Chains A and B, each alone.
With several copies, the nearest count.
Chain A
């Protein structure tokens, strides 16, 4: 085995593992003594850095691991979770405000207040863990009821729902 092949194998091992691989394991798999493995991996680390490759090798407690470069974070984030970049839409914000003030509330009640269907905002808020399904209402159809989560409180800096500011101009009847 020439050194190029050894590097290629180490690369594939680190890739498949995804995790940290101990130098002992590399040495065992390759049948090469640890100091040599260490020297080769060090060369690889330099190479990845000098070439500005997409991954770098990091060493932790005699284990080696691939990881991405901090400067690529933005792109990776876009790939992994594109929708997190969008924040809350107007529709979601409206729905959230209704749930916050009127909880527990059903989807039909939300629709009725907004005058449009709120299915997609509700799923978006559920997904973001800003509201949760708090059970079903008694009565015909037993519709799902929604409440805000602790995450919601955290995000808006509230200790509890009772801290929500009072709404101007509106009396209970109007709601």
Chain B
């Protein structure tokens, strides 16, 4: 059988329902559920006839419509024995339709804007090399400055190092300092990875201090630790309350 009919494609069950309601020219706040439910199901049958896969959302909506339809048929409870508000079984669906309709309409407006602004061209940034001065702009520097600079450091160092033997010197860092350092890392970014804390050549002492600082920060609830799966990288995040 040749297919001459073009089946309109709907974005979802709500889209289809809106279409049926508009076609039937009925009030969205007072949907004739029985009529609309029948048309809706008829449309799903049509989709099946054309071998179109009917997405599960459409089927769920069909069931919802049938449920509302049957609840509408139930006798209404007498006013005096229902202190609960007399709830329209359609209410929830109507709210969803209205909400969806707002965004659907806005999306057509977006589409119009897109049609204009996608016709606009931007230029690539100019190659910046031509604007960056070469290293000659650093010519204020002299060899003397270089040697003097190192000599000053070494002088300071020789005082500092007198007592220590030849080993790599590192300031003893306290847990409080480490806690502060970690908190500061989190002021410039929302999170970092656990292993960022342990760079290549960190001393055993600093590893222990860092770990204790982390535990302390968790205890006072200023950070938050996360790991998606075991053996994945551990995330350390700022805690936002």
Contact = CB atoms under 8 A, between A and B. Distances in A.
Interface of A: 12, 15-19, 65-70, 73, 76-77, 80-81, 83-88, 90-91, 93-94, 96-98, 100-101, 106-109, 111-117, 128-129, 135, 138, 140-144, 151, 154-158, 164-165, 167-170, 172, 174-175
B110 A117 contact: no
B155 to A, nearest CB: 8
B27 A94 contact: no
A170 B102 contact: yes
Nearest to A119: B199
Interface of B: 11-15, 27-29, 55, 57, 61, 96, 98-111, 113-114, 116-126, 128, 131-133, 135, 137-143, 145-147, 149-151, 153-154, 156-158, 160, 168-171, 190, 200-202, 226, 240
Contacts of A96: 107, 110, 146, 149
B135 A128 contact: yes
Contacts of A93: 107-108, 110-111, 114, 141, 145-146, 149
Given A16-B123, A80-B131, A116-B12, A94 B117 contact: no
A69 B11 contact: no
A83 B147 contact: no
Given A80-B128, A98-B103, A167-B151, A18 B57 contact: no
B99 A113 contact: yes
A115 B13 contact: yes
A165 to B, nearest CB: 6
Contacts of B160: 115
Contacts of B118: 83, 85-86, 155
B199 to A, nearest CB: 8
A174 B158 contact: yes
A144 B200 CA distance: 9
Contacts of B168: 108-109, 112
A141 B201 contact: yes
Nearest to B142: A156
Contacts of B117: 70, 154-157
Contacts of A18: 122-126
